[in-house]
Amino acid sequence: MIELNGIEIGYKKRLFSIEDIQLSKGKVYSLIGSNGAGKTTFLKTLQGNITPLNGQILINKTEVQLFDRLKLSQTISFVNSKFDGVDYLRVYDYVGLGRTPYTNALGRLSEKDQKIVENALTELNIKHLSCYFTTKLSDGERQLAAIARAISQETDIIILDEPTAFLDYANRKLVMREMKKIASELQKCIIISSHDLDLCLESETDILVINKELKTLQHFISNTLSKEKLIEIGF
Amino acid sequence: MTVARNNKFILFTLVLLFPILCGMHLFAGEITVSFSDFWNSVLNYNDENTSQTIIREFRIPRLTMGILAGGGLSIAGLFMQTMFNNPLAGPYILGINSGSSLFVAFSVMTGIPFLTSNLGTISSALIGAFIFGLIILSFSYLVKSHISLLLIGIMLGSFTSAIVSILQTMSEPNQLKLFTMWTMGSLQQVEYTELPMIILFFIVGIGLSLFMIKPLNALVIGESQALTLGIHVKYVRLALISITAILTGIITAYCGPIAFVGLAVPNIVKMIFKTQSHLTLLIGCFLIGSFFMLTCDIIIQVLESTIHIPINALTSIIGAPFVIVIVLKRLA
In angstroms, the first-to-last Cα distance of chain A is: 29
Average pLDDT over residues B22-27: 92
Instruction: Establish if A40 touches chain B: CB-CB under 8 angstroms.
Output: no
State pLDDT tens for residues A94-136.
999 999 999 998 889 999 999 999 999 999 999 999 999 999 9
Phi first, then psi: what are they for A67, rounded to 5°? -70, 140
* A87/B87 touch (CB, cutoff 8 Å), yes or no: yes
Give B2's pLDDT tier (boundaries 50, 70, 90): low
How far B324 CA sits from the closest chain A CA (Å)?
18
**What is the separation of C-alpha B162 from the centre of its chain, rounded to a whole number of angstroms?**
23
Cα-based distances in Å from A233 to A207, A210, A216, A223, A225? 12, 8, 10, 16, 10
Tell me how far apart the alpha carbons of residues A170 and B22 are, in angstroms, rounded to a whole number.
58
A82 at the B interface (CB within 8 A)? no
Is the confidence at residue A50, as pLDDT, over 90? Answer: no
Q: What is the pLDDT of residue B253?
A: 86
Instruction: Name residue A157's beta-bridge partners.
Output: A76, A189
Q: Which of A193-202, B138-147, B281-290 has the highest mean pLDDT?
A: B281-290
Name the residue facing A73 among B229, B273, B275 (closest C-beta). B229
B129 to A26, B126, B178, B216, B323: CA distances (angstroms):
52, 5, 20, 21, 23
pLDDT of residue B242: 95
The percent of residues in chain B predicted with pLDDT above 70, rounded, is 98
C-alpha to C-alpha distance for B187 and B255, rounded to whole angstroms: 5
3-state secondary structure of B305: coil
CA distance A139 to A175: 12
Contacts of A107 in chain B (CB under 8 A): 1, 213-214, 217-218
Nearest beta carbon to residue B276 from set A70, A77, A89: A89
Question: For chain B, what's the residue count?
Answer: 332
- B122: nearest Cα among B134, B131, B114: B114
Task: Read off the amino acid at residue B6.
Answer: N
Look over chain A and give the mean of its residue pLDDT values, rounded to a whole number: 92
Given the cut 0.85, state whether the ipTM is greater than it. Answer: yes
Q: Which A residues 135-194 touch B at CB under 8 Å?
A: 153
> What pLDDT sits at residue B64?
96
C-beta of residue B234 within 8 angstroms of C-beta of residue B224: no
CB pairs under 8 A between A and B: 73
- Closest alpha carbon to B258 in B132, B101, B108: B101
Question: Which chain A residues are Cβ-neighbours of B275 within 8 angstroms?
Answer: 88, 90, 93
Nearest CA in chain B to A105: B211
Q: Determine, for residues A97 and B218 on separate chains, whether the beta-carbon distance falls below 8 Å.
A: yes
Fold of the domain spanning A1-75+156-235: Rossmann fold (3.40.50)
Decide which of B97 and B116 is more confident. Answer: B97
Q: Are the C-beta atoms of B243 and A61 separated by less than 8 Å?
A: no
- Classify B93 as helix, strand or coil: coil
Q: Is A88 on the interface with B (CB under 8 A)?
A: yes
Min Cα distance A60 → chain B (Å) is 19
Distance CA B7, CA A224 (A): 56
Q: How far is B268 from chain A (nearest CA, A)?
A: 12
Which of B85, B62, B27 is closest to B302 using CA atoms?
Answer: B27
Domain ranges of chain B: 89-257, 259-332
Q: How far is A31 from chain B (nearest CA, A)?
A: 20
- A2 beta partners: A23, A59
Using DSSP, state whether A9 is helix, strand or coil.
strand
Q: Where are the domains of chain A?
A: 1-75+156-235, 83-154
Q: Where does B89-257 sit in CATH, by number?
A: 1.10.3470.10
The dihedral formed by the CA atoms of A167, A169, A172 and A173, expressed in degrees to the nearest 10: -160
